């Protein structure tokens, strides 16, 4: 095929037509219609009385290279092939009768053209194509042209004596058709070589990285024109690299808590890989504290401890009950939550925190109940001459209470019948001073609860009066009664 910039077939035909040589007086002629570097297409006229035609082609300047062919009387055309490029051939056609006599002959001279430069091409950038070719014997120069295969845009053309050329300012990911030919010293163009090459795609843009609940990373990007597939490389800060190969515009990666990942996305087509765009980094949420313990160390104090974890810059400890929340932020791996409400279940959680991701909100929690509440409004009444009735108001929790009377001659205990909020102790020795303590009885954490005390003095011989010496009590911030 000839490039459009060269002589049109019609012009070529006229040129070659002019070279047709009529044999003198006979009207027999041979014409050249088309020429390449290795072939010459011939036509000859019908000659009356001929029963066959014979064609010979002899290369000038090349010893021993000639072709001979015979044709029947109906064949008036032929293509001479396997010719030597850029070589002048003397062509002779003869009309022969059935006895072998030559009735007429015609001659012409025709040179083959230069052979085509064999091209190769690649796309070093998304907007350029580098073309190179093998040198062509006897070539004075080369013309290389390029245009979009879909016919859009204009053709770029370059004359050069070099054997390479780079076309730039092209469209990314686009298929181009490249043609090249050599020309000879006398300016005749040689055979064309055609090559299709695509530019590499642009780097994908709009890259976003998200972390899901389960700690997987979702990387997504904008598709690029003519990108056939995408490869995402993810390298973690411990050096491990994984990749994902997809024709979609997103990819999931399994990630671990507390790591930083470096992410790059490339688009590929047949021409190769897009240039390296931005390398993104993403730090995943810190890991949850491991070895997490929450222990009640006294009725209102919980000691929380844990092991340090990857990615955590700080820890937030939260103890939440239905009516209050206690917080503690620290870089240390322990926290003491004190002055908690009595008889309350706390949901204790330690969240790890990093500047980049904030808190990891999926950390497990532990349930811790504080010690049972003491009763309020403890009142003492005399019962007969040597007895005492202890009254109290039960706390919101339904708790059983036990009353202890500590005196110098011993301790007296009573447990009320279920549902009652008083209890009688009789036959206690008079003339002693007793400390009365009403404390939660059924709770296994009882020992942790220290309830306020009351002092009672039962004086001998005084039969009509009970002195209750009420201690001085105050209500603490945590709602605990402190008596002295
Ligand atoms: C390339 O060279 C050919 C032959 O010398 C000439 O006809 C043509 O105009 C040149 N084209 C350019 C773009 O220089
Ligand atoms: C030919 O190549 C040389 C070096 O490779 C370069 O300097 C020169 O500009 C090129 N000439 C043309 C016409 O492309
Ligand atoms: C990014 O996304 C916007 C909106 O979807 C789009 O218009 C733009 O072309 C994208 N940019 C790149 C570089 O892909
Ligand atoms: C990605 O997939 C394509 C097509 O399936 C394949 O040709 C290419 O080699 C793969 N690339 C990598 C890095 O695995
Ligand atoms: C992560 O990316 C940000 C910009 O997005 C940059 O400021 C920071 O230095 C990067 N971190 C690392 C460790 O490369
Ligand atoms: C939170 O911590 C857990 C346990 O350490 C971990 O599996 C998870 O990936 C972390 N991140 C998020 C967002 O939950
Ligand atoms: C603990 O840190 C978190 C996050 O920075 C903050 O919201 C909270 O108020 C802090 N709590 C205390 C008690 O400092
Ligand atoms: C404890 O708190 C966490 C986080 O606030 C919550 O997810 C969990 O359901 C709570 N557990 C209970 C038993 O209340």
On average, the pLDDT of the chain sits at: 84
Please classify residue 19 by burial: count the beta carbons closer than 10 Å to its beta carbon, then call 0-12 exposed, 13-18 middle and 19+ buried: middle
> Closest residue (by CA) to atom 10 of ligand 7?
329
Ligand nearest to the CA of 260: 5
> Ligand 7 center to residue 294 CA distance, Å?
20
What would the two tokens of residue 380 be?
A: 């003492």
Give the residue from 62, 179, 43 showing the smallest Cα distance to 112. 62
Question: For residue range 458-480, what is the model confidence (pLDDT) as tens digits?
Answer: 543 333 333 444 344 344 444 34
Model confidence band, residue 154 (pLDDT cutoffs 50, 70, 90): very high
Ligand 5 site, residue 278, Cβ cutoff 6 A: no
**Cα dist. 409→327, 426, 454 in Å?**
47, 14, 17
pLDDT tens per residue, range 262-275: 999 999 999 999 98
Q: Ligand 3 pocket, 222 CB below 6 A?
A: yes
Place of tokens 């015979």: 70
pLDDT tens digits for 219-250? 999 988 877 899 999 999 888 999 999 999 99
CB 33 within 8 A of CB 9: no
CA of 285 to the centre of ligand 6 (A): 6
- What is the distance between the alpha carbons of residues 363 and 349, in angstroms, rounded to a whole number? 7
Distance 282 CA to ligand 5 centre (A): 8
Q: How confident is the model at residue 365 (pLDDT cuts 50, 70, 90)?
A: very high
Sorted by where each begins, the domain ranges of the chain are 30-111, 119-198, 208-283, 292-369, 376-477
pLDDT tens, residue by residue, 331-364: 999 999 998 988 889 999 999 999 988 888 889 9
Which residues sit with their C-beta closer than 6 Å to ligand 7?
A: 316, 327, 329
pLDDT at 463: 35
pLDDT (mean) for 121-125: 95
Q: Is 206 in the pocket of ligand 3 (CB under 6 A)?
A: yes
CA of 161 to the centre of ligand 2 (A): 8
Show the CA angle centred on residue 44, arms to residues 41 and 49, nearest 5°: 150
Distance CA 445, CA 104 (A): 132
Confidence class of residue 18 from pLDDT cuts 50, 70 and 90?
A: very low
157 lines ligand 1 (CB under 6 A): yes
pLDDT at 22 over 80: no
CATH 3.40.50.720 is right for the domain spanning 208-283:
no
Bridge partner residues of 273 (DSSP): 268
Residue nearest to atom 9 of ligand 6 (CA): 215
The 8-class DSSP code of residue 127 comes to: T
CATH number of 30-111: 2.60.40.10
Please answer whether residues 174 and 182 qualify as being in contact, where contact means their C-beta atoms are separated by less than 8 angstroms: no
**Atom 14, ligand 3: which residue's CA is nearest?**
205
3-state secondary structure of 387: strand
Phi, psi (degrees; rounded to nearest 5) at 395: -75, 175
Q: Do the Cβ atoms of 198 and 175 come closer than 8 Å?
A: yes
Q: Which fold has domain 119-198?
A: Immunoglobulin-like (2.60.40)
The encoded tokens of residue 149 equal: 């295969």
CATH architecture of 376-477: Sandwich (2.60)
Measure the CA–CA gap between 321 and 342, rounded to whole angstroms: 11
183 lines ligand 1 (CB under 6 A): yes
What number does the ligand 3 atom closest to the CA of 202 have?
Answer: 13
Higher pLDDT, 8 or 135: 135
Our answer on whether the CB atom of 281 is closer than 6 Å to any ligand 5 atom is: yes
pLDDT at position 260: 92
Residue 467 pLDDT: 41
- What is the distance between the alpha carbons of residues 180 and 195, in angstroms, rounded to a whole number? 9
CA–CA gap between residue 352 and residue 309 (Å, rounded): 8
Nearest ligand to the C-alpha of residue 242? 4
Q: How many of the other CB atoms lie within 10 Å of CB of 435?
A: 14
Residue 42 pLDDT level (bands cut at 50, 70, 90): very high
d(CA 262, ligand 5 centre) in Å: 9
Identify whether the C-beta of residue 73 lies closer than 8 Å to the C-beta of residue 49.
no
pTM over the 0.85 mark: no
CA distances in angstroms from 361 to 6, 125, 127, 171, listed in the order given: 73, 45, 47, 47
Residue 244 Cβ inside 6 Å of ligand 4? The answer reads no
Which ligand 5 atom is at minimum distance from the Cα of 237? 13
Alpha carbon 349 to chain centroid distance?
32
Ligand 7 mean position, distance from CA 216 (Å):
27
Instruction: Retrieve residue 366's tokens.
Output: 């532990």
DSSP code, position 4:
T
Residue 2, pLDDT > 90, answer no
Question: In whole angstroms, what is the distance from residue 59 CA to residue 62 CA?
Answer: 6
DSSP per residue, 20-74 = -EEPTTT--EEEEEEE-SS-EEEEE---TT-SEEEEEEEETTSTT-EEEEEEETT
Q: 186 in ligand 1 pocket by Cβ < 6 Å?
A: no
Q: Rounded to the nearest whole angstrom, what is the distance from the C-alpha of residue 357 to the centroid of ligand 5?
A: 14
Cα 223 from chain centroid (whole Å): 13
Q: Tell me if the domain spanning 292-369 has CATH number 1.10.3260.10.
A: no
Residue of minimum CA distance from atom 14 in ligand 4: 245
- At 112 the pLDDT is 93
The closest alpha carbon to 129, from 162, 89, 171, belongs to 171
143 in contact with ligand 1, CB cutoff 6 A: yes
- What backbone phi and psi angles, to 5 degrees, belong to 250? -160, 160
pLDDT exceeds cutoff 70 at 16? no
Q: How far is the CA of 209 from the centre of ligand 5 (A)?
A: 14
- Distance from the CA of 364 to the center of ligand 6, in angstroms? 10
Asked whether the beta carbons of 314 and 329 are under 8 A apart, the reply is: yes
Separation of CA 370 and ligand 7 centre (Å): 24
Q: What is the model's pLDDT at position 464?
A: 34
Tell me, in angstroms, the distance from the centre of ligand 7 to residue 82's CA. Answer: 89
Pocket test for ligand 1, best of 139, 140, 159 (most atoms within 8 A of CB): 159
C-alpha distances in angstroms, 60 versus 57, 65, 477? 10, 9, 119
Six-digit token string for 25: 């007086």
Q: Is the pLDDT of residue 20 over 60?
A: no
Ligand 4 centroid distance, CA of 245 (Å): 6
Identical fold, 30-111 and 208-283:
yes
- Greatest Cα-to-Cα distance within the chain, rounded to the nearest angstrom: 176
């Amino acid at each position: 095929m000839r490039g459009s910039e060269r002589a049109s077939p019609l012009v070529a035909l006229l040129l070659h037509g002019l070279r047709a040589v009529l044999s003198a007086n006979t009207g027999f002629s041979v014409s050249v219609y088309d020429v390449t570097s290795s072939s010459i297409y011939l036509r000859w006229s019908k000659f009356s009385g001929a029963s066959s035609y014979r064609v010979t082609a002899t290369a000038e300047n090349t010893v021993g290279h000639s072709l001979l062919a015979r044709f029947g009387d109906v064949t008036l055309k032929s293509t001479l092939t396997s010719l030597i490029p850029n070589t002048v051939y003397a062509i002779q056609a003869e009309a022969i009768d059935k006895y072998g006599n030559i009735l007429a002959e015609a001659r012409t001279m025709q040179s083959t053209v230069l052979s085509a430069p064999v091209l190769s091409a690649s796309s070093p950038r998304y907007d350029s194509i580098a073309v190179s070719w093998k040198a062509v014997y006897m070539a004075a120069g080369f013309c290389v042209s390029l245009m979009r295969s879909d016919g859009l845009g204009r053709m770029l053309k370059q004359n050069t004596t070099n054997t390479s050329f780079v076309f730039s300012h092209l469209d990314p990911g686009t298929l181009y058709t490249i043609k090249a030919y050599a020309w000879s010293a006398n300016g005749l163009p040689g055979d064309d070589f055609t090559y299709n090459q695509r530019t590499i795609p642009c780097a994908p843009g709009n890259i976003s990285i998200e972390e899901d609940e389960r700690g997987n990373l979702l990387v997504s990007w904008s598709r690029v024109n003519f990108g056939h597939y995408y490869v995402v490389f993810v390298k973690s800060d411990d050096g491990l690299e994984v990749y994902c190969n997809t024709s979609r515009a997103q990819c999931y990666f399994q990630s671990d808590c507390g790591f930083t990942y470096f992410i790059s996305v490339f688009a590929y087509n047949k021409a190769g890989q897009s240039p390296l765009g931005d390398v993104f980094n993403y730090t995943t949420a810190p890991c949850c504290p491991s070895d997490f313990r929450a222990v009640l160390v006294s009725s209102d104090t919980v000691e929380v401890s844990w092991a340090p974890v990857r990615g955590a810059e700080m820890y937030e400890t939260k103890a939440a009950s239905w009516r209050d929340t206690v917080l503690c932020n620290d870089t240390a791996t322990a926290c003491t939550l004190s002055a908690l409400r009595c008889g309350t279940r706390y949901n204790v959680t330690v969240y790890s925190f990093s500047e980049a991701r904030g808190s990891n909100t999926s950390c497990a929690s532990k349930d811790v109940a504080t010690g049972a509440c003491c009763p309020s409004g403890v009142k003492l009444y005399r019962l007969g001459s040597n007895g005492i009735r202890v009254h109290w108001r039960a706390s919101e929790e339904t708790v059983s209470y036990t009353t202890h009377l500590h005196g110098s001659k011993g301790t007296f205990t009573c447990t009320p019948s279920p549902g009652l909020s008083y209890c009688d102790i009789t036959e206690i020795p008079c003339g002693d001073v007793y400390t009365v303590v009403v404390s939660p009885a059924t709770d296994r954490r009882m020992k942790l609860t220290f309830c306020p005390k009351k002092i009672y003095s039962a004086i001998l011989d005084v039969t009509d009066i009970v002195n209750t010496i009420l201690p001085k009590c105050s209500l603490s911030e945590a709602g605990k009664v402190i008596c002295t």
